Amino acid sequence: MVTDKVILELGKKAKLMRINILKMLTKAGSGHTGGSLSAVELLVSLYFYKMRHNPADPKWEERDKFVLSKGHAAPAFYSVLALSGYFPIEELMNLRKLGSILRGHPFSAVTPGVEVSTGSLGQGLSMAGGMAIAGKLDKKNTRVYAILGDGECQEGQIWESAMSCAHYKLDNLCVLIDRNGFQIDGPIMKIMEVEPFAQKWKAFGWEVFEVDGHNLREITDALDSAEKVRGRPSVIIAETIKGKGVSFIENENRFHGTTPTKEELEKALKEIGADE
Amino acid sequence: MSKESSLKKFYGTREAYGETLVKLGRINRDIVVLDADLSGSTKTSMFAKEFPDRFFNMGVAEQNLIGTAAGLAASGKTVFVSTFAVFLTGRAWEQVRQSVSFPKQNVKLVSSHGGITVGPDGASHQSTEDISLMRTLANMKVVIPADAYEVKKVVEYAANFKGPIYIRCSRDKFPVLFDEDYVFELGKGKILRDGKDATIFACGIMVSASLEAASVLEQEGIDVRVVNMSSLKPIDEDLIIRSADDTGAIITAEEHSIIGGLGSAVAEILGENRPTPMIRVGIKDRFGMSGSSEDLLREYGLTATNLVNSAKKVLEKKGERVKA
């Protein structure tokens, strides 16, 4: 059981992450705001609670590994890496600039802490599966985590991988799905329904957990439970709100692929309580 | 068929691949092999038999095949991935691009059933675009070995080289050209027969056809250089330019579309450096079809006879040029 104090600390990290995400996106002038803000609590729970990792030694042999399959949430990923200490916080302000280590979508060759390259949707789960197989081959106790988008699950490759991860009994793999209900063209249920979602994963042989994706206690509990599952991979379907944390960005799909203006940033930071 | 060719020895490129994988697997514990339900055809089944723990059959799912390979490579494994050329390079092209080539993962794509000599299965299973598809990817190396012994050397090279590479094997057994002492060098063309009148740059099964054509041409007093251009990327730019200077006429020969393959690669170098009379022998903007390999090779002009005619044609072009 996670203590209240830990939950409180995680909450503070989540707030810092939102502030950084909004600032870096506004500075960059392009990028994905909504889907970055919806994944904050998932990333905080992984990097500051569950995962064994060492920011001073990103290639530490005994580390747990992470894949951001929904690569467009790179600002959230970079923000959690910077807060963890993989690179200086100031670097975030170079997002998407020529020569920066922070490209528009995660690129393993240039960013410390990024294991594989993503951005083209549907490919991260396969890579996470490969990493989990490698962990089994090397008889390591380490785990592999991946965050997927719900819209991303329209890709056929996700289900190819879902099948093979269960077939190879990858119980060292835990997937978190940022179920914010939107994709770039609109609500998922209107564009291409993915429901019955939990049933699909169950049918593919996965252990399924369903949580409130902004409730740190529910997420951390599910991560702990997933670690105890044997013989099959786990998926945590996290109900989230796209743009979570800023009233005028929440569920406003205009912010899928656009960034706040300077005025909107100020308003948003005030609402989050950036000065408090 | 000439007396000489009836005495030819044949040895399968995919068999050579399977044997080499097993050999490498014994030395290097980090080698893992993935296939997509065609391990019996690609011969990765030989590795699977000896090292079942390091072989992963991903079923009929090529996109996940490539992604899983990338994840294994990102974890320090040397990963060999095989299926038919058309599926490996076509079905999962964007996975190869995003997950393998872009981040330079240590993944070796080794196909079987390249070209039209797949035979009776027809166009759906033949691969006439794989060189083009792989050549255009940054960070990707491309090799089409000319015989089984070259396959062995290329596969050994690939296992010791860090990064992505595409190697094409075939369904049919190839005439043996080399032996165990053959030395493969990435980025180098090999002159197998020197000549002064024209140069044939060939890859894969067309190398032996080119040597056959050169013998016929010799009897007619035409002296042709034959180059094994197995390394398509990087390609031996110096040798292409030198051959243009030495012989003044170029023929390319490939079991692949002339759009984007060896012919294109050579034309790119010549166009920028030494515009030279040239003929591309290959598949001319058509799909394959069903038939025996022999019939198909004839249908598409992938024969020594057509190479002989093409050499004569390119010499005419060269002659016109000298006159002009």
Q: What are A164-216's pLDDT values in tens digits?
A: 999 999 999 999 999 999 999 999 999 999 999 999 999 999 999 999 999 99
Q: Do B103 and A117 touch (CB under 8 A)?
A: yes
Write down the pLDDT at residue A276.
79
Scanning A29-100, the segments in alpha helix (DSSP H) are 34-37, 40-45, 74-84
Cα-Cα-Cα-Cα dihedral sign, residues B9, B13, B18, B19: positive
Nearest to B13 by CA among B49, B42, B55: B42
Write down the pLDDT at residue B7.
63
Alpha carbon distance A191, A4 (integer Å): 40
| Domain A4-272, CATH class in plain words | alpha beta
Q: Which residues of B are catalytic?
A: 62
Hey, what's the torsion of the CAs at B294, B298, B82, B263, to 10 degrees?
A: 150
Whether residue B168 contacts residue B114, with contact meaning beta carbons closer than 8 Å, is answered with yes
Query: Min CA distance, A27 vs chain B (Å)?
Result: 27
Chain A residues in contact with B76 by the CB 8 A cut-off are: 134
Q: Do A129 and B70 touch (CB under 8 A)?
A: no
Write down the pLDDT at residue B3.
45
Residue of B75, B83, B139 for testing the chain A interface, max A β-carbons within 10 Å? B75
Decide if B95 touches A, using CB distance below 8 A.
yes
Alpha carbon distance B139, B163 (integer Å): 8
- Residue pLDDT, tens place only, A92-130: 999 999 999 999 999 999 999 999 999 999 999 999 999
Alpha carbon distance B295, A133 (integer Å): 45
What is the crossing angle of helices A156-167 and B62-74, to 10°? 60
Domains observed in chain B = 7-175 (3.40.50.970), 190-323 (3.40.50.920)
Band of pLDDT at residue A23, cut at 50, 70 and 90: very high
Interface of B with A in 38-57 (CB under 8 A): 53-54, 56
Residue of B56, B64, B95, B100 for testing the chain A interface, max A β-carbons within 10 Å? B64
Alpha carbon distance B77, B71 (integer Å): 9
Alpha carbon distance A135, A89 (integer Å): 31
Question: Does residue A4 register a pLDDT over 60?
Answer: yes
The pLDDT > 90 percentage for chain A reads 98
Q: Which residue has the tokens 């599910």?
A: A222
- Residue pLDDT, tens place only, A143-165: 999 999 999 999 999 999 999 99
Q: How far is CA A126 from the centre of its chain?
A: 16
Query: Min CA distance, B232 vs chain A (Å)?
Result: 26
Interface of A with B in 61-80 (CB under 8 A): 65, 67
Tens-digit pLDDT string for chain B (324 aa): 344 455 689 999 999 999 999 999 999 999 999 999 999 999 999 999 999 999 999 999 999 999 999 999 999 999 999 999 999 999 999 999 999 999 999 999 999 999 999 999 999 999 999 999 999 999 999 999 999 999 999 999 999 999 999 999 999 999 999 999 999 999 999 999 999 999 999 999 999 999 999 999 999 999 999 999 999 999 999 999 999 999 999 999 999 999 999 999 999 999 999 999 999 999 999 999 999 999 999 999 999 999 999 999 999 999 887 776
Hey, what's the torsion of the CAs at B3, B4, B5, B6, to 10 degrees?
A: 50
Which among A67, A132, A160 has the least Cβ separation from residue B64?
A160
Q: Which residue of B has its CA nearest to A167?
A: B58
Decide if B60 touches A, using CB distance below 8 A.
no
Decide if A131 touches B, using CB distance below 8 A.
yes
Longest dimension (CA), chain B: 67
Helix (H) or strand (E) holding B59: none
What are the distances in angstroms from CA B226 to CA A164, B125, B197, B210, B234?
47, 30, 11, 7, 19
Write down the pLDDT at residue A160.
98
Alpha carbon distance B56, A15 (integer Å): 43
Q: Quick check: ipTM above 0.85? A: yes
The CA-based angle B70-B72-B75, given to 5 degrees, is 110
Write down the pLDDT at residue B203.
98
User: Which whole number is the average pLDDT over A49-75?
Assistant: 98
Whether residue B157 contacts residue B24, with contact meaning beta carbons closer than 8 Å, is answered with no
The encoded tokens of residue B183 equal 């030395």
Q: Which residue has the tokens 């049918």?
A: A203
Decide if A122 touches B, using CB distance below 8 A.
yes
**Using alpha carbons only, how large is chain B's radius of gyration in Å?**
19
Would strands B31-35 and B78-82 be described as parallel, antiparallel, or unpaired? parallel
Q: Do A133 and B68 touch (CB under 8 A)?
A: yes
What are the distances in angstroms from CA A190 to CA A38, A54, A250?
20, 42, 18
Which among B72, B98, B103 has the least Cβ separation from residue A130?
B72
Interface of B with A in 21-40 (CB under 8 A): 32
Query: Min CA distance, B42 vs chain A (Å)?
Result: 21
Chain B residues in contact with A160 by the CB 8 A cut-off are: 58-59, 61, 63-64
The encoded tokens of residue B209 equal 């056809």
B308 half-sphere exposure, CB direction, 13 A CA radius? 14
Question: Does residue A32 register a pLDDT over 90?
Answer: yes
- Residue B111, strand partner residues: B168
Write down the pLDDT at residue B323.
75
Chain B residues in contact with A108 by the CB 8 A cut-off are: 74, 103
The DSSP 8-state label assigned to residue B117 in this structure reads T
Write down the pLDDT at residue B1.
39
Strands of the sheet with B55-57, listed across from one edge: B55-57, B31-35, B78-82, B107-111, B165-168, B141-143, B231-233
The encoded tokens of residue A79 equal 């923000």
Q: Do A164 and B72 touch (CB under 8 A)?
A: no
Query: Min CA distance, A251 vs chain B (Å)?
Result: 30
**Domain coordinates in residue numbering, chain A:** 4-272
